[in-house]
Structure 1
Amino acid sequence: MDKKNARLRRAKSTRSRIRELGMPRLSVLRTGQHVYAQLFSADGSKVLAAASTTQADVRDGLTSAKNIEAAAKVGRAIAEKARAAGVEKIAFDRSGYRYHGRIKALADAAREGGLQF
């Protein structure tokens, strides 16, 4: 099993457990150049909020869109948008990625922004 398929298998398992909880899901996608975060409704049919390093308001003041600082800024942005949408309690879907580096920075910044995991 290669690295990508192992990550997708872990992501599938996590998402099935989150679906049973019936909570909004904060999903993270990490690429080589950017970090993306989306907040899905409890049934997964609707995107309630989204933030990424491709957005101009998030990218302001960043030297790079692919480092821990950028991920933290995305975390703060998604927390602000989620609270505006009336969501405070979420389930964190790390999409099979290890909880370190950019993923951890995004999660910590979202917690500081007022989201409860």
Structure 2
Amino acid sequence: MRTEKKQRLEQLRRWRIRKKVVGTKDRPRMSVCFSNQNIYVQFIDDSAGVTVAAASTMSKATPNREKLAANVDSAKSIGTLAAQAAQGKGIKSVVFDRGSKRYHGKVKALADAAREAGLQF
């Protein structure tokens, strides 16, 4: 498949998801972003336009951050850390925003780890 076609399909997928997924103060949006080397998770209140809590492989609060990469094992640990950060701010349930990524592999591992740590999707 041509690169332009892939990028266009990814953009359409992103728009389709963001049209339906909106975070509120009581139930913020859990936005997940994967780069080639790092994983970022943010809890966003869209009504106020504020990031409530965040976790990433770059964060100084992350243990063993030198060994973490953008893989399934790191996604599991970041999912757990993100859930703990959210619960520290009083967040119990979230709306999951996977971005333009498909729900398998790293995205699924991160979501499952967050669920096991106590977040409700």
Question: TM-score, structure 2 length as denominator?
Answer: 0.85
| Cα deviation, residue 8, structure 1 | 2.3
Q: 1-side partners of 2:57 and 2:65: how far apart?
A: 11
Name stretches of at least 5 consecutive residues in structure 1 with no aligned partner: none
Are positions 1:91 and 2:67 aligned together? no
Name stretches of at least 5 consecutive residues in structure 2 with no aligned partner: none
Q: 2-side partners of 1:12 and 1:44: how far apart?
A: 20
Instruction: Say if 1:71 and 1:44 are closer, same or farther in 2 by CA, change over 3 A.
Output: farther
Are positions 1:26 and 2:64 aligned together? no
Are positions 1:111 and 2:115 aligned together? yes
Runs of 4 or more above 6 Å deviation: none
Question: TM-score, structure 1 length as denominator?
Answer: 0.87
- 1:2 maps to 5
Q: Is the 8 A contact 2:57 2:68 kept in 1?
A: no
Superposition pairs of residues 31-46 of structure 1, within 5 angstroms:
31-43=35-47, 45-46=49-50
Q: 2-side partners of 1:40 and 1:74: how far apart?
A: 17
Are positions 1:50 and 2:54 aligned together? yes
Instruction: Say if 1:59 and 1:101 are closer, same or farther in 2 by CA, change over 3 A.
Output: farther
Q: 1-side partners of 2:36 and 2:71: how far apart?
A: 10
Larger radius of gyration: 2
Count of aligned positions: 116
Q: Is the 8 A contact 1:58 1:73 kept in 2?
A: no
RMSD: 1.9
Q: Identity over aligned residues, as a percent?
A: 36
